[in-house]
Each structure stands twice: as structure tokens, then as C-alpha cells.
Amino acid sequence: MKDLLTIGDLGADGIQEIMHAADSFAEVCQRPIPKVPALRGKTIASMFFEDSTRTRTSFETAAKRLSADVMNFSASSSSVNKGESLRDTVETIEAMGVDAIIVRHKSSGAPEQISRWANASVINGGDGWHAHPTQSLLDVYTIREEGRTFDGLRIAIVGDISHSRVARSNIEAFRTLGAEVTLVAPPTLLPPHVEALGAHVSHDLDAVLANTDVLYLLRMQHERMDQALVPSLGEYHRAFGLTLDRAKRLPSSALIMHPGPMNRGIEISPEVIDDERVRVLNQVTNGVIVRMAVLYLVLGSAAADRSAS
Amino acid sequence: MSVFIHGGQILGPNGVERADVLVTGSSIVGTGLDLPVPGNARHIDAAGCYVMPGLVDLHAHLREPGTEEAETIETGARGAALGGYTAVVAMPNTTPTIDSPSLVRDVLAIAEGALCEVVPAAAMTVGREGQLLTPMGELARMGVRIFTDDGRGVQDPALMRSIMEYATGLEAITGGAPVVLAQHCEIEALSAGGHMHEGEWSTRLGIGGQPSESETLMMLRDIALARRTGAHIHFQHVSTGEGVEIIRQAKADGVKVTAEVTTHHFTLTDEACSSYDPVFKVHPPLRTAADVDAIRAGLADGTIDCIATDHAPHEPHTKEFPFDQAPPGMLGLESALALALTELDLPIERVSELMSSNPAAIAGIGDRHGNPVEAGQRANLVVVDAESEWTIRGTAMASRSHNTPYEGRTVKGKVRFTVLDGELTVDDGVATR
């Protein structure tokens, strides 16, 4: 595996390989000194063209626990305005000598474009509305950690599907592993031709709740109201938020997940945040573990490819 | 100086026939099989080739003035000649916008000596800002016949109505020649944030979509206004099957409407965007296979009048930005005829109508372009070997840019010779200067 751009690149076997690697890194993270020399001497460029403290910190922590050197690159939108193309920017960074590039970009497809120009491995840290494969992998890990099997697992993803890279990658990952995915949103927050994503669709969270094994809430952006996609965040909360009443109707064995950061009072009521079914902090912990596995497999196999050629 | 084109099939007044063509000066002086050929005539072997009226493109971006690093009138016209064109309508979305008589004069002056006739279109609104009318009367007086804000549509319906009404009064100036309002149909409130066709592929790729209705709603509006005002509305780069049907109906109702489609809208679909390569980004966007089928049907049945290129050169590095940041547009002049011959199952006479006589009539240059190959006509001709195969390569083109979406595609139909006003602009596949 040279690059990790989408879940589709992995398939079920690729996901399982990463899960197994993550299991061993989970053990590393339990040690008093949670660090191994696996990637000593490797340089990883973290290119965040869009701010994301959480994802950047998670990747950096993962890289450092593997003893890699991390080079930080923050692209302000001004460098784009100065006329430097994406290719120019990437070739400049690569010329400094990097083994892998983690890309976060507000434009869908930017990591795929970069992978065509770069010799280094490219890891997608989230692109536009398109994909966020490491988020999906950490979500899979979190569900799997609970002893759940995906075959037939009923997962409801609730919220702004249209503008969500997490939704697109998670639908792909969950379905690849055999889960049944239902998207729950008002029609304005579903992409046109949503059937292309291969999931069930509902506009009624209450009708879905009782038959849900994993309730996955997406972050609701305030700007969707300005775009007249929802009347108000209050109405959104009443129709699609996890209220205390809905939490009571959700099966006791269900898991509640969210990619963070949560909007209290919008996707989820404050009184539900501490519900014992919520796995949000486990997701964050597992993010480091899974990203260690991804970095290790990408850089390990890329090194093997290079020595083979 | 005479040119003797022998051995070809000409597209004459009676259709395709085997005939030689003798050109003297800037005119065709004879066609037939036993022409008296002057001793000093240049002989051109057209065996296996069609000898057709030179092509006319209603829609090209030559980028001069303002973006000469992407294309100049000189390089664009050279590419046009290599593509078989003898006239090209230059879009006014340059920097500055071609919206005044002085800028039209500038373009005409730069275009002197170019390898094809460059016909400047002028903007409908000052700076293409959709606020104020350009001096359409003065522009019409100096010969401008096509007005367009191409790159944008006129968003304000009241302004569009006013433009149409004003235009109908200009025929007093043009001596009855039609003044054509060429609309880029796009309701921006619907297409905002969109970078490709809104459909299954935009959903999968997570790219903002431009719904078909952003095109069709403006078409419906303009048809209603054209019906009221009697203006001649021309729809540029129709991309939707629904749009083709709207035009079919409007024509049946007697509205003065004409329409063009681009080569890429009948050869490519939105699936091409799945690589996120901005070379496939274009406005209006590549749409679905069903749209392609409807456009092809419209080309065959006469609903669509013209094939245009929407030739839109962009410097290579500008297409190395993320998909949503890269500029829209594709090269077209050097590949359009071959794609039409390869991809469309149409008789050569219909291809010639779509690419020569119809656009020439709409552009108001039918006196000198797009006429049957016969004695007395201006010698604007193309000699094309319809069966000869070649492979499209961006870097092999005369354009200063390389952004062809057909890189590596093998097509048939090779331009051997192009004749502009009796002079060779392309000689055995090579531009003469």
C-alpha cells in the first residue's frame, strides 16, 4: 500500500490488515513509554491546507510514537492566492525529503491529485466532502473493540450527509464489512442521487431508533441554516438531535458515536453526553492507534516496494 | 496565384461529388473534371479527401487581450487553421472585456494576418457585469453581429428583456442582418458552489454540483422573452437533454432561437471527473450519458444548429490546482472536426452544415464563409481526409496551452489543407506560418 486515499483502496482485507496492526499498537500505547522505533529515520510531512487541530494532533502523536520525524506545513489560503499551484507546493515540500505526506484539504480530490505528482506516500487526512478514511478506520476499530461483528450490524448515520467526508467514507467502510447503513437526514442535507452511495435513507429518526445498533451523529454546521437547508438549529435538534427521550428509546446495547467536536444541544442534548453508550473519547484514543497502524503499513510497505525495485 | 485541388470529393451545391477545384486569387473560379489549369498553379492532391467549405467556430476564447500566456490571437488562429477553420468568433471575456468599439478595433488590428478570420463578438453588458448595456448600436454599426456575456449569463430578467428589445431595433442599422444575442445559460443562484454536473458522480466525489436546471431555467426565461420581443436568441454550449427538448419545442413554436453544442458535450460524461483531474472541468459541466444521447439526437434532427468548440486555453499550471479551484475550460479547435467525424454517425453534408454554413449564417459572415464549393464563392476551404487516423496530444497543438481532455485518444479525420481567401494556411497538415 503506497497511499491511503479512500476506503475503497483498501477493501475488506485491507481494513482487516489495519485492524490487526492496530491491535498490536494498542498494546504499545498501554506501556509506560508508549513509543517504538518502527519508523525511526522516516520523515512525515503533515500538510494541512485546512485547519484541524484534532486530526493533526492525532496524526502527530501517532507518528511520534513510531519515532518518525514530523514536518509541519500549514498552508494559508494566501499561498494559493499568490498563484502557487497545488503541484508546486507539494513538489517544494517533497524536495526537502519526505517519506510520507499527510494531506488535509478543503477541496475534494486534492490528496488523489497529490498522489499523482508525489513519489512519497500520501495519506488522506480528510478532503472536502469526499473522504476521511482514517476516521472511518478508527470508527471501525471502536465498534470492533466492543466485540460487535459488522455482518448485519445496523448503523444509522444522522445529520448533514451532503457535506460530510466522514459520512461518505463511513458508508463505504461499514458496507464493505457487511453492515446495513441507514442515512437519517432531511432531504436538504442528503446529496442528490443519494442512492449512488448504496445506503438506506430515512427522514425520520424516531422510526429508525429502535432498530439501531450504532447511532452515528454528524456535526451540524451553523452555515447550513444560512443556506436555508434547515429552518433553524432548534428545529434540527428537535427532529434529528439525540434528545433524552430518544436516548431512552435507543436500545441499551447500542453505541453512540460522533467524529467530534460535538455541538451540545444540536446533535446531542447535554444530558445525553455522559450516557454510558457514548464512545466519543474511545474514538479519539483509537484515532492515535489506528493512525499508527496506517503510517506503519504505508511506510513499511512503501519501503519494501522501493527496495524491491 | 492559383491553387488547383484535384482528386477530391467536393461538397458542392448538389451535395457530394467528385470534382476538382480551381482557386484564383481569393475566389473559386471553377469546379469540375476538366478544368483548364494555369501553368503556375499550385497542385494539391485531394485524393481520398473531402473538399469542404472552411469551418466556422461560433465560440472560441482566444484570450487576447489579457491572458496572452494561455493563448494569443495568433496562436489561436493557427490552431483554428490546423483544425480546418477559416473563421472563428472570438468571445469577449478578455481582460479588459471587449465591450467598446475601440476594443473591437484593437482585436481586428491584432488579428490582421492571422491564419483565420477573427470575428469579434462583443459583450451585452459593460464589463460583463450584468448591469448596463454596452454601446450595442455603435458596435453593430462597425459590424458586430454577436453579443454575449459568455462565461456568465445575464442574470436579471428585466435587463435581458431590455437587451432583447434594444437588439431588435438594431436591424435598422445592419440593413436587416440579424443581431444575435448569444446566451451562456446559467442561473448562478442555482449553480453557485458547483464545479461539475450535479448527479451520481458529484455525490460520490463530494464535489458541489451544478444542476441541469441552472441551464434550462434560463433557456425557458429567454424563450419567453424572445417570444415577446422577437429577438434572435442563440443558446451557447447546450449541455442538457432537457435543454435540447426545450429548443426543439421553441423552434416548433416559431421562436427565433438557434443553438450550439460543444464537441465535449457529445463525447464526454461527468464520469470523467472521477479522476479529479481539472482538465475535465468545464462550464457548463460534462453531464450524463443520457444528455450526450439527447445532444446527438438534436444534432441529427436539426434541433441543434451548430457544433462549436468553446476552445478555452488555460496555462498548464492553472490546471494543477484542486478541482474546485482550477479554472473551467478545454481546448477544442484542433480536435473538433475529427471528433465530429469519429463520434457522430452523420453524413458529411450534415457535419458541414453544423460546423460551417449554419455558424457562418448566425455570425453574419455567410457572404464569405460556409458556402457550397462552387465557382464564384470566396475560397475559404478545408481539405480533410475523413479516414486518416491520428492521436490527440496536447503538447503537439499550436495552442499555447495543452488542456485537451482527449489526450491519447485516437480519432479519424485529418485536416490536410486549409485555404483562407485563396491562400494556404495549412499545407499538408502544417501551418504555413
Same domain, B146 and B188: yes
B44 and B192 in a common domain = no
Kindly state whether residues A103 and A179 are assigned to the same domain: no
For chain A, which residues score pLDDT lower than 50?
A: 78, 304, 306-309
- Put simply, the answer to whether B206 touches A112 (Cβ < 8 Å) is no
Supply the pLDDT for residue A222: 84
Residues of B forming the active site? 310
Same domain, B267 and B403: no
In a domain, B273, yes or no: yes
Domain range for A168 is 147-278
In a domain, B367, yes or no: no
Residue B388's pLDDT band (boundaries 50, 70, 90)?
Answer: very high
Backbone angles phi, psi at B284, to 5 degrees: -65, 160
**Domain ends where: B307, B335, B362?**
B362
The per-residue pLDDT for A221 is: 87
Shared-domain flag, residues B24 and B132: no
Q: Is B317 an 8 Å CB contact of chain A? A: yes
How far is B353 from chain A, CA to nearest CA, in Å?
Answer: 38
The model's pLDDT over B106-153, given as tens digits with 9 standing for 90+, comes to 999 999 999 999 999 999 999 999 999 999 999 999 999 999 999 999
Which residues lie closer than 8 Å to B341 by C-beta, 6 or more apart?
B351, B384, B386, B411, B412, B413
B106 and B24 fall within a common domain: no
Q: Is the preceding peptide bond at B120 cis, omega within 30 degrees of 0?
A: no
User: Residue A307's pLDDT is what?
Assistant: 46
User: Cβ separation of A113 and B322 shorter than 8 Å?
Assistant: yes
Q: pTM value?
A: 0.95
Q: Is the pLDDT of residue B221 over 70?
A: yes
In degrees rounded to 5, what are phi and psi of residue A215?
A: -105, 115
Amino acid in the structure at residue A241: G
A163 and A127 within one domain: no
Q: Which three cell numbers, joined as nine digits, stand for B399?
A: 495552442
Chain B residues close to A197, C-beta within 8 Å? 203-204
Examine the fold and report which residue of B322, B337, B362 is the final residue of a domain before the chain moves on.
B362
Residue A137 falls inside a structural domain: no
B371 within a domain of the structure (yes/no): no
Residues B222 and B297 in one domain: yes
CATH number, domain with residue A161: 3.40.50.1370
Indicate the residue among B320, B335, B362 that finishes a domain.
B362
Q: Is residue A302 part of a domain?
A: yes
CA B311 to chain centre: 8
Residue B400: the pLDDT is 97
pLDDT value of position A228: 87
- pLDDT at A79 (0 to 100): 56
List, for residues B5-47, the tens digit of each pLDDT value. Answer: 999 999 999 999 999 999 999 999 999 999 999 999 999 999 9
* Identity of the residue numbered A122: V
A127 CA to chain B: closest CA distance, Å?
Answer: 9
Report yes or no on B368 lying in a domain.
no
Residues A261 and A294 in one domain: no
pLDDT tens column, A215-238: 999 999 888 888 889 999 999 999
pLDDT of residue A242: 98
Q: B234: domain range?
A: 54-362
User: Is residue B373 one of the residues assigned to a domain?
Assistant: no
- How remote is the C-alpha of A187 from its chain's centroid? 23
Question: Is the minimum CB–CB distance between B205 and chain A shorter than 8 Å?
Answer: yes
B77, B114 Cβ separation under 8 angstroms: yes
| CATH number of the domain within which B228 lies | 3.20.20.140
For chain B, positions 319-358, list CB contacts with chain A under 8 A. 320-325
Mean per-residue pLDDT over chain B, rounded: 97
Same domain? For A157 and A115 the reply is: no
User: Domain tally for chain B?
Assistant: 2
- Whether omega for the bond prior to residue B284 falls within 30 degrees of 0, making it cis, is yes
Does a structural domain hold residue A209? yes
Q: Are B92 and B122 in contact (CB under 8 A)?
A: yes
Hey, are the CB atoms on B321 and A86 less than 8 Å from each other?
yes
Rounded to the nearest angstrom, the gap between the alpha carbon of residue B385 and the centroid of all alpha carbons in its chain is 21
* Grid cell at residue B296: 446527438
Task: Tell me the average pLDDT across B356-380.
Answer: 98
B21 and B113 co-located in one domain: no
Q: How far is CA B219 from CA B133, B182, B209, B304, in A?
A: 20, 11, 19, 14
Average pLDDT, integer, range B229-235 = 97
Interchain contact A110–B (C-beta under 8 A): yes
Question: Do B45 and B173 belong together in one domain?
Answer: no
Q: What is the per-residue pLDDT for A301? A: 62
Structural domain count, chain A? 2
Average pLDDT over residues B279-305: 98
Do A297 and A245 have their domain in common? no
Of A80, A113, A117, the CB nearest to B276: A113
Rounded to whole angstroms, the Cα distance separating B45 from A55 reads: 68
Inform me whether the C-beta atom of residue A113 falls under 8 Å from chain B C-beta atoms: yes
| A20 CB-side CA count, 13 A | 7
Determine, yes or no, domain membership for A185. Answer: yes
User: Is the Cβ of A85 closer than 8 Å to some Cβ of chain B?
Assistant: yes
Q: Are both B252 and B383 inside the same structural domain?
A: no
In whole angstroms, what is the distance from residue B74 CA to residue B218 CA? 34
What pLDDT does A223 receive? 84
Closest partner residue to B323 (CB to CB) among A107, A117, A197 is A107
Q: What is the mean pLDDT of residues B226-235?
A: 97
Structure confidence at residue B176 as a pLDDT band (50, 70, 90): confident
Whether A168 and A125 map to the same domain: the answer is no
Q: What DSSP state is assigned to residue B38?
A: P
Among chain B residues, CA nearest to A167: B206
Do residues A265 and A293 both lie within one domain?
no
CATH number at residue B382: 2.30.40.10
Is B225's pLDDT higher than 90?
yes
- All 3 cell numbers of residue B113? 494576418
- Judgement on whether residues A123 and A25 belong to the same structural domain of the protein: yes
Residues 6+ away with beta carbon under 8 Å from A95: none
In a shared domain, residues B17 and B62:
no
Query: What was the pLDDT predicted at A80?
Result: 53
Contact B124, B130 (CB under 8 A): no
Q: What is the average pLDDT across B359-380?
A: 98
Q: Is B274 on the interface with A (CB under 8 A)?
A: no
Cβ separation A192–B203 shorter than 8 A:
yes
Task: Please give the backbone phi and psi of residue B89, each rounded to the nearest 5 degrees, phi first.
Answer: -85, 120
Q: Residue A174 falls within a domain, yes or no?
A: yes
**B199, B321, B322 member nearest A192 (Cβ):** B199
Asked if residue A210 is part of any domain, the answer here is yes
Pseudo-torsion of CA B135, B140, B142, B145, nearest 10°?
130
- Same domain, yes or no: A14 and A119: yes
Q: Which residue in this structure is represented by grid cell 464569405?
A: B368
Does one domain contain both B46 and B59?
Answer: no
Judge whether A191 is closer than 8 Å to chain B, CB to CB. yes
Q: What angle do CA A246, A248, A253 make, to 5 degrees?
A: 110
Q: Which of A88, A107, A168 sits opposite B322 (nearest CB)?
A: A107
Contact check, Cβ <8 Å, A109/B323: yes
